[in-house]
Chain A
């Protein structure tokens, strides 16, 4: 079709052009003809001159130029640059901006992206505390740092609280010998209530402000409770019996769901930041991802994903603070690997052999880094850059496997407890945000300015 119309116009053109070609100088005659076909006279003249100089002999190419060549060139240029052909449109009304739910999003927000000087990571621990009678058991979770900046550690049958603000220590509770030792401690999100898992399968809830026991959860597990995780008012407990139980601490019959998937002791238990997904790791080398929404509607036993790649017990689990469905997991002595999972699809994204038992994992809340704690032979802490998994630092000091790790509420300091019965503090994730100090500085400025004006 295009070709057809081109032919007809070219034949017309041929009629008007032919005379011109022959009578270059006396062109007054042909002017009428030209005007009928090409209204833009000045452009036509240029076209004509150009034609005479360059294209005169190539008869075939000439007729197609039914518009001035300049126009054609512009059009072709615009076409290739996709300017003329296309109109780019967008809605006037923009989609709503997401609401920030995760508190660490704010600090990320403030962070200056361009200036990123290499951070110095101190090679030795900032502080070392004695932790006598710390149970040297891989499967337990005896250290937790609450949101009110108080660290809880279980030494034998006693739970001690160490206030990071003033360094003071207090004893919360000592359980009876037949009930203990304490096998897990976990702060509720409010930083005031704390759950204490015991060797006799009970879980005690304490109010740290009044030093009073609130209640005891029992009847769920048949053996020791080595792992716990809070999700608002739900306390999830993992037992040596392989069971995972969601306890609603507000109601009398507290057992609301039971997840059955592990055949051996559950030693790692972590809720995602959104509270939607629970990751559990067991001595049966398995990781399960449980979905909160499907658990309530369907039968409680069905896991969302069953991840079978580790070849040893999985205690170290850590949800990525900046990517909601990214989970890091570490395998025990026979496995030695850190693996990364997309918990939406269940795909293993990466696997790194660390060469040593992985006891615990923590993400840096402010940078894309991961901290792992290890056992034999170096008993070290390793800082990894994510996602390249380049080692940024190896911190040594502990003389036995580093069983437990906990992160301060500001995300900067990490406490570690090891089989050598010491509790060490490492300033591994940098100094507290500078941006937090800069913000209030900006505010007084306009006021002082006003004062001066008056």
Chain B
């Protein structure tokens, strides 16, 4: 009995990378839906992490996120990924309005020696669920995005990573003097992901 539970809760580098990159996919979809970057009728409801989540049906966005996930998995398995940032910008001015920052800490020993760690799937799912809930509730405090917006994803990798053919180096697209809200984090015992959203100060409140 005891040995069975232990066997079940083993998590490998590959498994952890899969969990983390899948999380990014759902988190990105959820942000795009909740922040209204794409029209809400372009999303369908699915059940994931014990929550109803919305996934885009837009082929272009789907492909973008799928390609992103494939590349992120590769980097995660190599322990090369430090951070992923989803940036929401004004379509008209390209001004950065919101940055969804996912910092990743990788357990170096796992990458180097190929050992595995122990943590139950259930526990990880629960932690991810908490983040998803926070993303959905974020519209209560984030400023309204009252203009058409576009998004982009930045990956912060180690310097020794070869830049893939389809990627280019980018500036960090920072927001000057942002407001920041830290959300929950989750930990696969191999990758620890901290979530933080920073956004442009809403000048409306100061008038």
Contact = CB atoms under 8 A, between A and B. Distances in A.
Interface of A: 82, 84-102, 105, 108-109, 113, 274-276, 322-326, 342, 344-345, 347, 349, 368, 385, 387-388
Nearest to B90: A113
Given A89-B164, A95-B60, A322-B145, 15 more contacts: A86-B156, A87-B161, A88-B169, A88-B170, A88-B171, A89-B168, A90-B152, A90-B168, A94-B150, A98-B149, A276-B40, A323-B139, A323-B144, A345-B136, A368-B146
Contacts of B169: 87-90
21 contacts: A82-B156, A85-B159, A86-B156, A87-B159, A88-B154, A88-B155, A88-B170, A89-B167, A93-B64, A94-B150, A96-B60, A97-B148, A97-B150, A98-B150, A105-B147, A108-B146, A109-B92, A113-B147, A274-B40, A342-B137, A347-B140
B51 to A, nearest CB: 10
A275 B42 CA distance: 12
Contact of A274 (B41, B82, B153, B157): B41
Contacts of A108: 146-147
B151 interface: yes
A344 B145 CA distance: 17
B61 A95 contact: yes
Contact of A87 (B136, B150, B163, B205): B163
Interface of B: 33-34, 36-41, 58, 60-61, 64, 67-68, 82-83, 91-92, 136-137, 139-140, 144-159, 161, 163-164, 166-172, 204-205
Given A89-B167, A92-B168, A95-B64, A322 B146 contact: yes
Main SS at interface, chain B:
mixed
A39 B149 CA distance: 53
Nearest to B43: A276
Given A323-B144, A347-B137, A89 B39 contact: no
Contacts of A100: 148
B159 A88 contact: no
Nearest to B151: A95
Given A96-B60, A322-B146, A342-B139, A90 B40 contact: no
B166 A92 contact: yes
A90 B64 contact: no
